[in-house]
Amino acid sequence: MSGVKLTNVRKSFGGHDVIRDVSLEVPKGDFGVFVGPSGCGKSTLLRMIAGLEETSGGKIEIGGRNVTAVEPAQRGVAMVFQSYALYPHLSVAENMGFSLRLSRAPRAEREEKVREAARILQLTDHLDKKPSALSGGQRQRVAIGRAIVREPDVFLFDEPLSNLDAELRVQMRLELTRLHRQIGATMIYVTHDQVEAMTLADDIFVLKGGHVMQSGRPLSLYDDPDNRFVAGFIGSPAMNFVDAVVSDSDDSGFTARAEEGELRVALQGPKPGAGTQLVLGVRPEHLEPLETGGLPVKVEVAEELGGNSYVHSRSASGKDIVFERRGNRESLEGRDLQLSAPADKVFAFTPEGERLR
């Protein structure tokens, strides 16, 4: 088993660049997730690793072997498609054993491997059925089983859960994590759902417009985003952003005026001078209603989830500001509040979206 390494990989379709200079590495045995909005190139990048799309430039290595120009079947990868791509005319067992059938592996070996994969995925009772007789979740498992039987170095998943309903998605997410622990192979997973990315990944690669915006452990991306895009994309509900002007700075950070209120921002690096235009970002769970100071808002609605609630409020300029409350049952609807956050939980970005540290 081996890791996947991309070096300066590019892809263009008829003069239009889809992937621009991507370099990244998914270490051996890790679970890497490509996440980003639709059209960011994440699926294309996965298909390039699989060999289903040609690479316009750069190098793709799997287990230290340069596979940029190698046929898909010789790359040691298996892929699970969003649509499952099961052969409708073959039974579950035949679908899973298809690759061994093609390579004319002995029948006994084929049956043994299919049985083992079916056991892992709890499909033993369905081996003789046709895919059309299975539920969505079962089809998904067959598709994964087909990948397992091939014993690949790298598993590739292209939005495998997006055709399932919400409950099943959560369940399959857990099963995938368990499967990864059990098999220990390198896995690369593409999704547009940042919750899936956060829960599954060892390493997240946030893509936008064919670039890797930031990569790292899920929590480090959450706690320490490099730019406004990653800050807004990772986390649900999303981070609140307000335009601000620096009013005063000192050794530990600066104070900025925003939305007819004031926020204190901790900053280690060079401090912006007074009058600098910035964008401040605060996650919902870090905002707290105070008596004085902070941003003045008017509460509109609250989403009560039982343990916690997300309160939607409107700022002076009409922006939707969301903050989280825990264990507090008292209704805030229609009230005017002041919201503030600890200085080290407020992120500052340039108007172009770069983070100030």
Partner 1 sequence: MAMIHNRSRHRLTAYSLILPFVAIFALVFGYPVIEVIRMSFTDAPLIGEGEWVGWDNYKRLFSDRLFYTSVINNGYFVLLTVVPTTVIALMISLAVNRLSGRMQALALVFFFTPYVLPVSVVTQIWAWMLDFQFGILQPVLEFFTGKPVPVFKNPFWVMPAVALVTIWWTNGFNVLLFIAGLRNIPEELYEAAKLDGATRRQLFFRVTWPLLWPVTALVLTLQLILQLKIFDQVYLLSEGGPFNSSYVLLLMVYREAFQLNNGGYAAAVSLVLFLLIVVISVLQFQLLRVGGKDK
Is 265 a residue that touches partner 1 (CB under 8 A)? no
Two structure tokens written together for 304: 């009560």
- Please provide the DSSP assignment of 145-183 as one string: HHHHHT--SEEEEESTTTTS-HHHHHHHHHHHHHHHHHH
Determine the interface stretch with partner 1 among 78-86, 129-137, 188-196, 203-211 (rule: CB under 8 A): 78-86
Is 107 a residue that touches partner 1 (CB under 8 A)? no
Q: Are 209 and 217 in contact (CB under 8 A)?
A: no
Q: Are 297 and 341 in contact (CB under 8 A)?
A: no
Is 141 a residue that touches partner 1 (CB under 8 A)? no
Is 69 a residue that touches partner 1 (CB under 8 A)? no
- Please provide the DSSP assignment of 97-146 as one string: THHHHHTT--HHHHHHHHHHHHHHTT-GGGTTS-GGGS-HHHHHHHHHHH
Is 83 a residue that touches partner 1 (CB under 8 A)? yes
Closest contact distance (angstroms) between CB of 102 and partner 1 is 5
Determine the interface stretch with partner 1 among 24-32, 49-57, 221-229, 291-299 (rule: CB under 8 A): 49-57
Two structure tokens written together for 352: 């172009």
Closest contact distance (angstroms) between CB of 194 and partner 1 is 25
Which of 102, 108, 166, 305 is the binder for partner 1 (CB under 8 A)?
A: 102
Nearest to 266 by CA among 327, 354, 341: 341
Is 186 a residue that touches partner 1 (CB under 8 A)? no
Determine the interface stretch with partner 1 among 83-91, 189-197, 215-223, 343-351 (rule: CB under 8 A): 83-91
Two structure tokens written together for 230: 């990653």
Beta-bridge mates of residue 324: 310
Is 85 a residue that touches partner 1 (CB under 8 A)? yes
Interface positions with partner 1 (CB under 8 A) = 50-52, 71-73, 77-79, 81, 83, 85, 87-89, 98-99, 101-103, 146, 150
